Structure 1
Amino acid sequence: MHTCERTMSGLLKPLRRGVWRYLGDRDILAAALVTLLAVIGTLGLLYVVHLVRTWRLARHAPAQAGHRGTLLVFGRRLVEGRPEADFIARLERARRDALDGRADRVFLLGGSADGGPSEAEAGQHWLRQGDWPSGVPVTLEQLSVDSLENLRHARELLRDDGGPLPPVWLVTSRYHLARCMYLATRLGFDASPLAAEDRLRITRRYIVRLAMEAGYIMWIDTGLRWAALTGNRRVVARVT
């Protein structure tokens, strides 16, 4: 019995985070249907527009913070409780900018979807294995399991300090920057992109990731526009 439960838990694990978490929500499914109809109605042009925007930001985003500020480092799903390659690149970017005096403080974003160590905890452990400037505090945000929750909880932590939200740098993989920037703008951040990689990689994996991200952003944007048009405050409130 226990073996069966563990097997089922393992099969369902990918469905506890990311876009799959919302497939039981009628509003989200309605947004997906409206998005599909919009893509068909525009003969795919709607998706192409989002893909081009995603590609441009991924290509042109800076790999070094232009001024000193707060860094929000996005986590990524752990592999056997440890950061994988994309997450390590994000952490290394934060380390370099902190050592170069370009970070006032750093927030590591990411909770746990399976009861193990959070992404933020794993990230902090990785950072502690190398150099880190003593004057740059690291704060862990461990309640979120997707990019929207990352930013919502980070906003709460920043507001706990009192005063307006400070300008922030969003530290993540190039393929992920467009979605994070879109959500951060919706949530009221004064945000700038900071790419984990020195340059955009033209590989099959990266092209697939960019294509998926463009689809996610199109889904979110179209769904929010539809919600505003139909007066669905519940959906709009999620990203404000």
Structure 2
Amino acid sequence: MSSFLAPLKRGPWRHARDRDLIHVAAVAAVAVTASLGLVWLVYAAYVWRIASASPLAPPDCRDLLVFGRRLAGDRPERDFRLRLERALVLVGQGRVRRLFLLGGRSGGRVSEAAAGAAWLREHGLPPEVIPRLEQASTDSLDNLRHARSLLREEGADRALPPVGLVTSRYHLPRCLLLARWLGFESGVAVAAEERFQLDGRYAFRLFVEAAYVMWIDLGLRWARLTGQERLLMRVR
């Protein structure tokens, strides 16, 4: 049951006291009601397509952003290990220019990024590959925002390089959407799992993800339409 409810712990309901995000939730609810649920079905189809069809490697050698996940006893749990294993495979194939591990402290003594780096070294990461650690955030939006700062640190106006976004299939739709809003125009999704396998746990995660993606995208589109700069600043 705990794995079934895991998405609820870090979903949009964490922001229940944020008035701007409550406003966004209301906009999404109106859109779903007015469309008799068709809007949600459109986002569900998007989530399904990204989760099921994302490749196991980027099309070329590029910077790799590996998303962390809440640790279990200061160690990567199953989903996080699959993400790290995919990164290790891509490093071995010579497809990684620079490796970035994303994730701050989420309740443990070490950050998700630091735990991921330690795991990679234990499992054969070549010594010449030195991961860059983003340890300042624990949600996907801040992960990407801080990663963007790391990528641009050589100059404020430097264009963002092509990146591969490595995470679990159920998490890819959200990350890809946020990456587009944050200016990662050439970012591509890279699936951690070898294949898409639908079971009860995954179906529930995809259900939650579709609602989350709809909430984010409709909210930001509404903010852009109505000129709500405070909301738009979250993706700038």
Letter in 2 for 1:233: E
2:55 to 56, 59, 62: 62
Letter in 1 for 2:194: D
Check the 8 A contact 2:69/2:112 in 1, yes or no.
yes
Q: Which runs of 5+ in 2 are unaligned?
A: 1-6
Deviation at 1:115, TM superposition (A): 5.8
Tell me the equivalent position of 1:48: 41
Tell me the equivalent position of 1:166: 161
Letter in 1 for 2:117: Q
Rounded to whole Å, the distance in 2 between the matches of 1:150 and 1:87 is 15
SS in 1 for 2:25: helix
Q: 1:109 to 1:100 in 2, by over 3 A?
A: same
* Percent identical: 53
2:31 to 38, 44, 51: 38
Tell me the equivalent position of 2:220: 224
Q: Which runs of 5+ in 1 are unaligned?
A: 1-13
SS in 2 for 1:222: helix
Rounded to whole Å, the distance in 2 between the matches of 1:30 and 1:113 is 27
Q: 1:51 to 1:76 in 2, by over 3 A?
A: same
Letter in 2 for 1:95: L
Rounded to whole Å, the distance in 2 between the matches of 1:211 and 1:16 is 15
Deviation at 1:66, TM superposition (A): 2.0
The number of residue pairs the alignment matches comes to 227
Deviation at 1:191, TM superposition (A): 0.2
The reply to whether residue 110 of structure 1 matches residue 103 of structure 2 is: yes
Letter in 2 for 1:222: L
Deviation at 1:161, TM superposition (A): 2.7
Rounded to whole Å, the distance in 2 between the matches of 1:43 and 1:17 is 27
The reply to whether residue 178 of structure 1 matches residue 165 of structure 2 is: no
The reply to whether residue 238 of structure 1 matches residue 234 of structure 2 is: yes
SS in 1 for 2:171: helix
SS in 2 for 1:105: strand
Q: 1:211 to 1:16 in 2, by over 3 A?
A: closer
Letter in 2 for 1:66: P
1:197 to 161, 171, 193: 193
Rounded to whole Å, the distance in 2 between the matches of 1:74 and 1:80 is 18
Check the 8 A contact 1:77/1:119 in 2, yes or no.
yes
Rounded to whole Å, the distance in 2 between the matches of 1:26 and 1:120 is 31
Rounded to whole Å, the distance in 2 between the matches of 1:137 and 1:85 is 23
Q: 1:80 to 1:20 in 2, by over 3 A?
A: farther
Tell me the equivalent position of 2:143: 150
Q: 1:92 to 1:115 in 2, by over 3 A?
A: closer
Structural RMSD (CA): 1.6
Instruction: Please tell me whether Structure 1 or Structure 2 has the larger radius of gyration of its CA atoms.
Output: 1
